[in-house]
Structure 1
């Protein structure tokens, strides 16, 4: 069965994920979740994207505009994590030429948003900005000062007909570093549950997923979680989850980074993010 990614790119994606493992580990250990200092200075990033580099944002700042599958979008500055990646342009290298003027004919390849975990609202006040900067500078953020990052991928949607069953299947087939997994009888917060038979010390990498949660009716929601213990005192249990869901109205798959403590709010997150994303649609 075709995977989540377009045919011919899955191996490249797996290689990319392997290269990112070390980076992601450092990211989680320091909680540096792309604070304003992130430097994606390429032509692929919206020319007037704020990147949350300062506060307040300019009152006259233009929204990032473009389209996904012909659906016109206008994304306000306050929601954007860094910018918008437009089709056909490089993200990680700075272009020597200025990007072309953006219109609703500009195709969006992906974009990322930032929301406060407790309120599911973007940076709107000077206090929000100060809180976000403080969050990125500590490995132990206050419970009320956690932030969620999420990315929107149209390619993931079109690659597999807008369903996530193939993602679950890859985990259950005992792919390298993934599982094998066994299904549990009881659902968790309305989602099917499967767990890896590997013990923590048997994982090839401590962030390898060892729990899966998914909706086997719609196949619109899939969450993979990694459970591990901090490598230094107090050696307490930690978790990292990758929450993926289908947003059919925009022909995208949304990827949300969270923790297992957020699991009970999975449906709330999806509803809130859907409402926000649909507010970007230009009729």
Structure 2
């Protein structure tokens, strides 16, 4: 160590440079930095460079995180937009809702008058404005089936055929309307004789059981139906399937004074716990089991996946 009134400076020995570059062996000398102070300057340069590298790494990491977050946000937005577009297309094709805890997706082409939700008018008119979701509670709805093959309305030609049929006197000879209602109580299964409306009777039990059904036949003739619009009434019942069918036959009051008939067929749709009501003419009464099986299959196809 060499004294100097002006102060001290730190330099590294030549041996240090050779054996331990930029090591920790220093001399206290004057504060001016000469050529032997080169190693100290190098230390500060290395330290500064290291700090710069650390800062760049941190900035790069932040940039990568931000890019990843933007990508995730963009991906989520794209997924949401895709889902919204799918739901929009789905809403155009299907009527949705829930009945008795079961979610339904009903092709709109099948529908006769649309879907009536809880809180709407039960005839489907004057419905309150609402946003319909999969959880909206369904009150009732109706579909159309072609009687020749029991197929629903699938094409615009089917729809045109139905419109053409409604312009004729009695379209129920070729088309069957089926309604599904959440309010109809099932017929009493514990009684051998369902409750009758008094002015339809008196009734006579037919022991032949046509088509596997218990039958009660009204004593009224086809000419007695002007006031009650029932005429000759037949009541059919099957206890095992809880099936109830009422058919009325009435004489027309205009030439050629022939008769026409009409049947209302009620049965339960399993799983959905709905009452189905099918409308057709007496000529198709023998198909009652086929009709029930087909309607049940179609109703179960509405269950959402």
Q: TM-score surpassing 0.5?
A: yes
Q: Return the structure number with greater helix share.
A: 2
Q: 1:154 to 1:166 in 2, by over 3 A?
A: farther
Structure 2 residue aligned with 1:269: 291
Name the CA distance, whole Å, in 1 between partners of 2:262 and 2:172. 17
RMSD between superposed Cα atoms in Å = 2.6
Structure 2 residue aligned with 1:214: 237
Kept after mapping to 2: 8 A contact 1:164/1:219: no
Quote the offset at 1:142 in angstroms: 10
Q: 1:236 to 1:200 in 2, by over 3 A?
A: closer
Are 2:167 and 1:137 equivalent residues in the alignment?
A: yes
Q: Which has the larger radius of gyration?
A: 2
Q: Quick one: which of 149, 153, 159 aligns to 1:119?
A: 149
Structure 2 residue aligned with 1:53: none
Please report the TM-score for the alignment, with normalisation by the length of structure 1. Answer: 0.68
Q: Report which structure shows greater RCO (CA 8 Å, sep ≥6).
A: 1
Kept after mapping to 2: 8 A contact 1:207/1:240: no
Deviates more, 1:112-121 or 1:133-142: 133-142
SS in 2 for 1:275: helix
Structure 1 residue aligned with 2:126: 94
Quote the offset at 1:231 in angstroms: 1.7
Where in structure 2 are the equivalents of 1:2-13 lying within 5 Å? none
Name the CA distance, whole Å, in 1 between partners of 2:217 and 2:145. 29
Deviates more, 1:63-72 or 1:195-204: 195-204
Summarize deviations over 1:18-65 as a string: whole Å, max 9, x none: xxxxxxxxxxxxxxxxxxxxxxxxxxxxxxxxxxxxxxxx99723111
Structure 2 residue aligned with 1:105: 135
Structure 2 residue aligned with 1:149: 177
Structure 1 residue aligned with 2:303: 281
Summarize deviations over 1:210-264 as a string: whole Å, max 9, x none: 1011113x25111001012222222222111111111122101101111100101
Kept after mapping to 2: 8 A contact 1:179/1:197: yes
Across the two proteins, how many residue pairs are aligned to each other? 215
Kept after mapping to 2: 8 A contact 1:164/1:221: no
Name the CA distance, whole Å, in 2 between partners of 1:79 and 1:117. 14
Q: Quick one: which of 242, 266, 275 aligns to 1:253?
A: 275
Please report the TM-score for the alignment, with normalisation by the length of structure 2. Answer: 0.64
Q: 1:274 to 1:140 in 2, by over 3 A?
A: closer
Q: Quick one: which of 188, 194, 203 aligns to 1:169?
A: 194
Structure 2 residue aligned with 1:80: 111
Q: Any gaps of 5 or more consecutive residues in structure 1?
A: 1-57
Quote the offset at 1:83 in angstroms: 0.8
